[in-house]
Amino acid sequence: TMTERKESKRRKESSAHTPAERRTLRVKMVLLGSSGVGKSSLAFRFSKEEFSSTVPTVGCAYMTHLVCLHDATLRFEIWDTAGQEKYHSVTPLYYRGAQAALVVYDITKRESFMRAQLWLRELERQYVPGETVVALVGNKGDLSDLRQVMLQEGQTLAENKGLLFTETSAKSGSKVSELLMTIAHRIRQSTTPESTLEEWKDSCVDLHSPETQRKQGTCCMAELH
Partner 1 sequence: MAADVHNKKVAWETQNGSLAPVGKLRAERSDSPTPGLVEGTEPGAGQDDAMFVHTRSFEDLTADGEEGEDTDPSGPASGLGTPLGDREQPEAEPVGPEEEQAPEAPAGGRAEEEDVTSEAWRGRRKHVFVLSEAGKPIYSRYGTEEALSSTMGVMMALVSFVEAGKNVIRSIHADGYKVVFLRKSPLVLVGVAHTRQSERELTRELLYIYYQIVSLLTLTQLNHIFQRKQNYDLRRLLAGSEHLTDNLLKLLDRDPGLLLCAVSCLPLPSSTRDVISSSLQAAKSKSLVFSILLAGNQLVTLVRKKDQYLHHMDLHLLFNLVGSSSSFREGEGWTPICLPKFNTAGFFHAHISYLEPASDLCLILVSTDREDFFNLSDCKQRFLERLRRRSAYPALQEATRSPSYPVSQVGIPELRHFVYKSKSSGLYTSPELPAPYQTEEEQERLMGLYQYLHSRVHHTTRPLRSIYHCGERENLLAWVTSGFELYLCFSPLGTKAQAVMAINKLLKWIRKEEDRLFILSPQTY
Contacting positions for ligand GTP (CB under 6 A): 33, 35-41, 53-54, 56-57, 82-84, 139-140, 142-143, 169-171
Cα gap 64→26, rounded to integer Å:
10
CB of 223 to partner 1, least distance (A): 24
CB of 54 to ligand GTP, least distance (A): 3
Nearest to 102 by CA among 63, 126, 138, 68: 138
Among 40, 73, 99, 112, binds partner 1 (CB under 8 A): 40
Cα gap 43→25, rounded to integer Å:
19
Cα gap 43→78, rounded to integer Å:
8
Check binding of 81 to Mg ion (CB under 5 A). Answer: no
Distance in angstroms between the alpha carbons of the first and the last residue of the chain? 9
Cα gap 129→126, rounded to integer Å:
9
Closest to partner 1 by CB, 154 or 217? 217
- Which residues of the shown chain bind Mg ion in the complex (CB under 5 A)? 39-40, 57
User: Which residues of this chain interact with partner 1, rule CB under 8 A?
Assistant: 35, 40, 43-44, 54-64, 78, 80, 82-87, 89-90, 93, 203-208, 214
